[in-house]
Amino acid sequence: MDSKVEEIRQKVIKCTKCDLSKTRTNSVPGKGNFQSDVVFVGEAPGRNEDKKGEPFVGIAGQRLSGALENAGISRESIYITNVVKCRPPNNRVPTVSERDMCHDYLQKEISIIKPKIICILGNTAFNSILGGSEITKYRGKIVKKDERYYFLTVHPAATIYNQELITVLNQDIIKLFDLIRELKKGKQISIDIDYSA
C-alpha cells in the first residue's frame, strides 16, 4: 500500500476527533486501489462495516460490487471511502459537525490518489462535497468544480428499499466507466453542472 494512504489509514484508525469515536467498534478507513481512476464516496459505515473495519462490506456493498461487475469492473480496481469514517449510532445521518471534523481525511485521500473522477454515492456525500441535494434528480450527471470532475449517483443502500434503483445504479456505473475511458483518451466530456463557470 502507498505509504501516504497507509498514514491516513492509521490516523483514521486512532482518530478521536469527534464523538463517533466513543460509539464505534472500528473506524473504517477507505480501501482499494490507490492508483484507481475513480474514488467512490459514500455516507458513513453501517453495522457490518463497523464490525469489520472495512467500507461497503454489507448489502449496500454487495449492490455496488454487483453494479461494478455488471460494468466489467473488479471491486479491487477501485478505491472506496466515506464522508465520515465511523458509524453514527443506529445508522443516523452524520451531523454537519461530524462531517466537517472528518472532511480532512477525505480531502487527503483524494489528493493522494488523484482520481480522474470522483463518484458521489447518495445525498449525504452530494451535500457534503458539493452542497447539493435531491440526488435522485441529479443522478447520472457530471459536475465540474475546482478543476475536478464528479459523477453523481444514488447510494447503493437506496437500492435495498427501492428495487427499481438497481437498474438506475447499474446504468450509472456503466456511464461512469464510459466517461473514464473518454477521460483517459484525453477527450473532452460534456459537463452537466459547472460550479467553476
Site residues, ligand SF4 (CB under 6 A):
12, 15-18, 20-21, 27, 84-86, 98, 101-102
Are 139 and 172 spatial neighbours (Cβ–Cβ below 8 Å)? Answer: yes
Shorter beta-carbon distance to ligand SF4: residue 14 or 187: 14
Shorter beta-carbon distance to ligand SF4: residue 83 or 135: 83
CB of 79 to ligand SF4, least distance (A): 17
Shorter beta-carbon distance to ligand SF4: residue 102 or 176: 102
CB of 11 to ligand SF4, least distance (A): 8
CB of 98 to ligand SF4, least distance (A): 6
Strand stretches in the chain, DSSP E: 31-32, 38-42, 79-82, 117-121, 142-145, 148-153, 193-194
Q: Given 3-state DSSP classes, what are the helix, strand and coil percentages for the chain, each rounded to the nearest 5?
A: 50, 15, 40
CB of 84 to ligand SF4, least distance (A): 5
Shorter beta-carbon distance to ligand SF4: residue 5 or 169: 5
Which one, of 66, 68, 112, 104, lies nearest residue 85 by Cα?
Answer: 104
Are 196 and 144 spatial neighbours (Cβ–Cβ below 8 Å)? Answer: yes
**Phi-psi group of 25: left, alpha or beta (phi > 0 → left; psi -120 to 50 → alpha; rest → beta):** alpha
Shorter beta-carbon distance to ligand SF4: residue 28 or 152: 28
CB of 44 to ligand SF4, least distance (A): 8
Task: Give the pairing type, strands 79-82 and 38-42.
Answer: parallel
Residues 96 and 100: their CA atoms lie apart, in Å, by 6
